[in-house]
Amino acid sequence: MNQLLPLFIVLPFIAFIFNLFFANKKEKVIAAIAEIGTSLYILSAISFAIMWFINGYTPINQKLITLYKTDGFEFVLNFYYDHITAVYSVVGAFLFFFVARFSRYYMHRDEGFKRFFNTFLFFLLGFNLIIFSGNFETLFIGWEVIGLSSFLLIAFYRNRYLPVKNAYKVLSIYRLSDIALILAMWMLHHLTHQNISFTQLTKASATAVEHQHTGMALFIALMFVLAAVAKSAQFPFTTWLPRAMEGPTSSSAIFYGSLSVHIGVFVLLRTYPFWQDILLVKIIIICVGAITAIVSSLIARVQPTVKTQIAYASAAQIGIIFIEVAVGLHWLALIHFAGNAFLRTYQLLVSPSVLNYLVHHQYFHHTANTSTADNKLKNSIYTLSIKEWNMDSILHNYLWMPFKWIGRQVGFFENIIGRVIIIVLGLLAIAATFLYPIIFESINIYLPIAFMLAALLIILCSFSSRKSSRVAWGNLWIAHVFIICAIVKNTGVLNWQQVAMYASGVTVASIVGSICLYKIKKIDSDISLNNYHGYVYEQKNTAFIFLLSALGLLGFPITAAFIGIDVFFTHIGANQYALIALLALSFLFIELAAIRIYLRIFLGLHKKLDHPVAFRSS
């Protein structure tokens, strides 16, 4: 049975590749490929689960391929199957088929019909990579794929302002969960001195207790919780879930009603052997789940739109599932997950019909509220719930705005003098790291922090920029130069293979992205980041290539830089708190800055009046 596990990855990948060869007008063929692929997924998931149960339902662990290996690091594609995987795969198989069938008619004659099904199958690939993963490296590949496909489907109606804006908002929360997971992997590597699989988590926990590394264990567990809380839209990140409903109803059903939003639950279930004995972590999960359940229930009762009500109702149930996981009721949590996933998918798919009925019923049977009671507590809760408990504004003001303020303070990096300064500093960093390290030996201890701080400031400058997109893009590549120099200087040993692996991906991506921006610059002299330009209308291929360049620049698993970033994190010591904080923030904002450039130049309302313009949200 071990040899059959890769089948669950191969099936959606083949369907995805096949769909690429058909034009948008071939709707029947495109939909048929998706339906056949999901039908085979149902057959495979059920058959495998039955065979696994007959053979004694013992967990299956298989190492497929080693992508990179050194003395202290091993990047392995590892697959794993147990009762958690069985439930997630069977539930997911049925939901994917139902939504594929529904979308065949719901998306009929939409100009993005092919784009929708391609992204749908891409999401299926990422979902399977997560639930069948046997280690964190494999899980993180799927984690990134799901994040990208979520972003693309939220911004599906890319000629409208709100879908594009909300896609970016959701991406920012997703990126926060990415960094939390990376930090957990980083500290786990220092705790165990190796890349471990999920089957070794219990041993890793025992190692932390044996060697009195309880602080490291607590940090790892808290990062797991942060990743799960952000990914599953728990308090205080709940507001991204209704914002994600800007995409088509069918994608809202499969992503944010049923599967993607439950990935946080999967992470908690999978990592439970590591944190099961840490009481503080259990208390935090229970408190977050309880607060989310209460607050989301109150918000759902007063929201004016059907999708928003369903989103908050789903978040409330996931909060309860979090509590069930924390107290050890894992089978109940899995049953609860299956029920909530099927219910929310059904509610979202029938929501247009229900809305039509309710509007008709309200028109003919509306009765005005005659109550005159003045209950201050009730009115206060009602007002807070209408405002979604101000979670959006709190996150904006206290999480993102401080970094935007810092970015504006170093805005001079975009001027000619500022660009000369950072280029000169970059050359000095290269000289101090690779060419003449002995000359700077007396200040070596300070250089990693200095280089990493310079990288973060340059990235924040691009993140908050309202000026030239080409300058902002170039600054992101220069920031990578400082990051490489900081890591190499901190390590003290130059490994050209690792540097080349990292630098090759980001350099190629930077060059290709610059060519794309130069092409748009020839069409329109004004491609500043002050507004949206919408050039995906006229330059679809250029927009797609630039998106790939942005993904390559931030280390998406399409270049060797993905492995290089993972390796680079291991070169920072467990007690180098300032350096790891600066590196984590750099990778958090470098994605947001790169994707922001893509959104501003290629998506949104087109500036030319000869294109159709939609001013309302979806």
**219-231: pLDDT as tens digits:** 999 999 999 999 9
Mean pLDDT of 169-175: 93
* Residue 327 pLDDT greater than 60, yes or no: yes
**453-510: pLDDT as tens digits:** 999 999 999 999 998 999 999 999 999 999 999 999 988 777 788 888 888 889 999 9
Mean pLDDT of 443-452: 90
pLDDT number for residue 618: 42
* Residue 167 pLDDT greater than 60, yes or no: yes
Yes or no: say if 513 and 473 are a contact pair by the CB < 8 Å rule: yes
pLDDT number for residue 371: 66
Mean pLDDT of 265-282: 95
Predicted TM-score (pTM) of the model is: 0.93
Yes or no: say if 34 and 120 are a contact pair by the CB < 8 Å rule: yes
How far is the C-alpha of 192 from the C-alpha of 206, rounded, in Å? 10
Cβ of 478: how many Cβ atoms within 10 Å? 22
Yes or no: say if 529 and 469 are a contact pair by the CB < 8 Å rule: yes
Q: At 43, which helix (H) or strand (E)?
A: helix 27-54
* Residue 616 pLDDT greater than 50, yes or no: no
| Amino acid identity for residue 522 in this structure | K
pLDDT number for residue 110: 82
* Residue 614 pLDDT greater than 60, yes or no: no
Kindly state the DSSP code that residue 406 receives in the 8-state scheme. H
Q: How confident is the model at residue 28 (pLDDT cuts 50, 70, 90)?
A: very high
Kindly state the DSSP code that residue 23 receives in the 8-state scheme. -
pLDDT number for residue 591: 92
| Maximum pairwise Cα distance, the chain | 84
| Amino acid identity for residue 593 in this structure | A
Query: What b/e sequence results for 102-126 when a residue is b if at least 16 CB atoms lie within 10 Å of its CB, and e otherwise?
Result: bbbebbeebebbbbbbbbbbbbbbb
How far is the C-alpha of 503 from the C-alpha of 22, rounded, in Å? 35
Kindly state the DSSP code that residue 468 receives in the 8-state scheme. B
Q: How confident is the model at residue 617 (pLDDT cuts 50, 70, 90)?
A: very low
Yes or no: say if 267 and 195 are a contact pair by the CB < 8 Å rule: no
Mean pLDDT over the full length of the chain: 89
pLDDT number for residue 613: 52
Percent of all residues in the chain with a pLDDT value above 90, rounded to a whole number:
62
Mean pLDDT of 550-562: 87
* Residue 319 pLDDT greater than 80, yes or no: yes
Q: How confident is the model at residue 362 (pLDDT cuts 50, 70, 90)?
A: low
How far is the C-alpha of 534 from the C-alpha of 298, rounded, in Å? 38
Torsion (CA) 125, 126, 127, 128 in degrees, nearest 10: 50
pLDDT number for residue 276: 93
**376-423: pLDDT as tens digits:** 888 888 889 999 899 999 999 999 999 999 999 999 998 999 999 999
Give me 565's structure tokens.
């970033």
